[in-house]
């Protein structure tokens, strides 16, 4: 539409009023009302056409021309509005209100997280704090500072995943011990939960990725009796007051003496069943007194400080507690499995 300038005051007012009305339109019916007000048979435009004869002969032609221009402008503007709201109401009609509503599912905690939280609660109550470390480690933190120098036979026990960058995926959470002791002076009481990685072929009891919790306590006069007390207290927190703990001599490069610890079987209460292979005991993990050689790496004086360390596999505990017979179930993300823990 060709633009023209409006000279008559009452026509300028008309245009201003129309655009104000138009800006207030929010639906189809309101657009219809505005159209009727301006373009209806007895609307503002037609009443102004009637006023042409009141104008002086010299003004009549211009007044008519301007009014016609305004009429077609308003028509175009209001039609755009009507089309817009018609399209919206068409969309609204496409919503089938007879369809059932969308169901919202409440999430549930993964069994590994349930056990991790229980483990943390147990150790928080004994004054331990949570520490973390990187999953990509260096040879120094994963082996060397834990008293496993190059060519140490125990390195062969751990099938390590090495990275092209020269780093490796940590094979245990023990490197966190070193990182914490480097930064802190005793007393130290931490647990370090996290993922660890091994070059294992997945089967019912092995996974290349699994969760460990490392524990470390260093202070003056810390003894093996303290370790046993902490582990027993933990077992009772997790499996009830009747839980028992036993220690068996073992070997780890970073503890001396070293032990493996077992919990009494919660399913048969020590009588013997398939889960405990009729022994009445469930193997949990290793523990021991921190080897003085490890203290030398972090600058602790082994003549002044002693400490204990322990580990545990989180999946192993979850499998016993929830009677799960295949570790792979934890990582397949099958909702039918996970929902059982909500």
What are the residues binding Zn ion (CB under 5 A)? 265, 267-268, 273, 276
Sheet holding 168-169, edge to edge: 136-137, 168-169, 161-162
CB of 279 to Zn ion, least distance (A): 8
The nearer residue to Zn ion, 62 or 273, going by C-beta atoms, is: 273
Rounded CA-CA distance 186/273 in Å is 43
Rounded CA-CA distance 184/187 in Å is 8
CB of 238 to Zn ion, least distance (A): 16
CA-closest candidate to residue 265, choices 285, 244, 249: 244
**Helix, strand, coil proportions of the chain in percent (round to 5)?**
45, 20, 35
Give whole-number Cα distances, 266 to 111, 313, 317, in Å: 18, 17, 11
CB of 284 to Zn ion, least distance (A): 14
CB of 282 to Zn ion, least distance (A): 7
The nearer residue to Zn ion, 30 or 260, going by C-beta atoms, is: 260
CB of 319 to Zn ion, least distance (A): 13
Rounded CA-CA distance 99/91 in Å is 16
The nearer residue to Zn ion, 39 or 324, going by C-beta atoms, is: 324
Rounded CA-CA distance 281/244 in Å is 9
Rounded CA-CA distance 21/17 in Å is 6
Q: Which residues of 65-89 are buried (b: 16+ CB within 10 A; e: fewer)?
A: ebbebbbebbeebbeebeeebeeee
The nearer residue to Zn ion, 31 or 265, going by C-beta atoms, is: 265
CB of 236 to Zn ion, least distance (A): 17
The nearer residue to Zn ion, 273 or 324, going by C-beta atoms, is: 273
CB of 205 to Zn ion, least distance (A): 16
Residue nearest to Zn ion as judged by C-beta position: 265
The nearer residue to Zn ion, 144 or 260, going by C-beta atoms, is: 260
Q: Do 206 and 162 touch, CB atoms closer than 8 A?
A: no
The nearer residue to Zn ion, 69 or 281, going by C-beta atoms, is: 281
Backbone φ, ψ for residue 312 (5° rounding): -160, 150
């Amino acid at each position: 539409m060709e633009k023209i300038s409006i000279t008559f005051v009452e026509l300028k007012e008309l245009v201003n009023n129309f655009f104000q009305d138009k800006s207030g339109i929010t639906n189809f019916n309101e657009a219809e009302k505005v159209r009727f007000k301006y373009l209806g048979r007895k609307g503002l435009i037609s009443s102004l056409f009637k006023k042409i004869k009141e104008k002086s002969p010299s003004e009549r032609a211009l007044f008519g021309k301007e009014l016609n221009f305004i009429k077609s402008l308003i028509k175009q503007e209001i039609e755009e509005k009507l089309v817009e709201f018609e399209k919206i109401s068409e969309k609204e009609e496409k919503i089938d209100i007879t369809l059932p509503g969308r169901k919202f599912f409440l999430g549930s905690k993964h069994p590994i997280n349930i056990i991790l939280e229980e483990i943390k609660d147990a150790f928080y109550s004994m004054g331990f704090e949570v520490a973390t470390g990187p999953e990509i480690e260096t040879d120094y933190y994963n082996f060397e500072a834990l008293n496993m120098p190059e060519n140490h036979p125990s390195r062969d026990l751990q099938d390590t995943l090495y990275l092209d960058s020269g780093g490796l995926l940590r094979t245990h959470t023990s490197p966190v011990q070193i990182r914490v002791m480097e930064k802190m002076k005793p007393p130290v009481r931490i647990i370090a939960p996290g993922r660890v990685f091994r070059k294992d072929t997945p089967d019912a009891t092995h996974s290349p990725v699994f969760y460990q919790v490392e524990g470390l306590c260093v202070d003056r006069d810390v003894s093996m009796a303290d370790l046993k007390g902490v582990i027993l207290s933990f077992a009772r927190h997790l499996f009830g007051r009747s839980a028992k703990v036993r220690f068996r001599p073992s070997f780890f490069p970073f503890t001396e003496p070293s032990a493996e610890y077992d919990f009494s079987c919660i399913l048969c209460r020590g009588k013997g069943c398939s889960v405990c292979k009729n022994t009445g005991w469930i193997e949990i993990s290793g523990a021991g007194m921190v080897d003085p050689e490890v203290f030398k790496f972090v600058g602790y004086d082994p003549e002044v400080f002693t400490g204990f360390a322990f580990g545990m596999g989180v999946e192993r505990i979850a499998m016993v507690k929830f009677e799960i017979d295949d570790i792979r179930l934890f990582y397949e993300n099958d909702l039918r499995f996970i929902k059982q823990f909500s």
